[in-house]
Amino acid sequence: MKYLIFKIWNKIKLFLWTYSQPLTKSPTNKNSSVSDLFVWRASKDIETFFELIDIPSLFLDYEHKNHVTLVVFDSNGNELLSDKIELIPNRRSKINISEIIKEKSMLVGSASNFGTFAIFHSIIPSVFNDTGSFISECGYVSYSYKNALNTYVHGNLEAIALLEDDSYELLCVPSFLQRKFNLQFELKDSALYELGLVNPTNKMQSVVCSYLSLENGRVVKRQEVDICPKGSFVFDISVQKGSSIKVVIKSKLVMARPLIFRKIDDNLDVIHG
């Protein structure tokens, strides 16, 4: 009897954490193009690039050029620019996102030094609709620090859709309850760490980022911010030599998984949390 009650209680708890709270949902329109919300950074030291593959050409035999639409948002989720980029079939292109932002920013007003961007393919091969799927861009974004070699990281999840009427649909649903995300990485090695977190939901998200010493469990730093839909924030902490820090992120995001930027001298590493 106790085992049955325990089993039922566990199912109830699981229901509270999963009901109508998928990690990501399908777009409402089957002819939508889907993309991750990637983090861009543009400063005198950091440039952002994207490795773009002409995905439709992998499924279609055609000679005309495909294009994608690059949409850039600032840290508050406001659209900074939308730019069409033509591609050569079956070729990979390296797009300098920072350069495009700097060139176009004079037309759209000043931009912050970080935000989000999305890549939407213009052609949707029939195989995607036939299989109940969507063309999605979650490829590789890379960052160059002080003109050094690029460091690469893959996309996180399908976060935003471009609908047929050119409006956007965010594909992540906020949690009913507050959740804790324990960063799966230990901050150490006398470095500056920056955590880039995106809000892929349609509601403002209050996020608390706590840094705890692994030596005594005390909170050494705490940052609390509100992140707008389609927006982002870059948390930061300097870790001294010999110290080890655990990061806990509290929010109503189903998965508050940040990008980790680790700076040691003139070197930059970027990984998923």
What per-residue confidence (pLDDT) applies to 7? 55
Helix or strand or coil: residue 10?
Answer: helix
pLDDT in tens, 70-111: 999 999 999 999 999 988 777 788 999 999 998 876 545 445
What per-residue confidence (pLDDT) applies to 130? 82
Domain definitions of the chain by residue range = 33-170, 179-272
Amino acid at 186: E
Rounded CA separation 197/232 (Å): 5
What per-residue confidence (pLDDT) applies to 18? 54
Rounded CA separation 136/224 (Å): 32
7: its two tokens: 């089993």
Mean pLDDT of 246-256: 94
Distance from chain centroid for Cα 261: 13
CATH classification code of 179-272: 2.60.290.11
Q: At 126, which helix (H) or strand (E)? A: helix 126-130
Least confident of 107-116, 150-159, 175-184: 107-116
**210: pLDDT strictly greater than 90:** yes
Helix or strand or coil: residue 206?
Answer: strand
Amino acid at 59: F
CATH classification code of 33-170: 2.60.290
What per-residue confidence (pLDDT) applies to 50? 96
**59: pLDDT strictly greater than 70:** yes
Rounded CA separation 136/194 (Å): 27
Rounded CA separation 130/117 (Å): 28
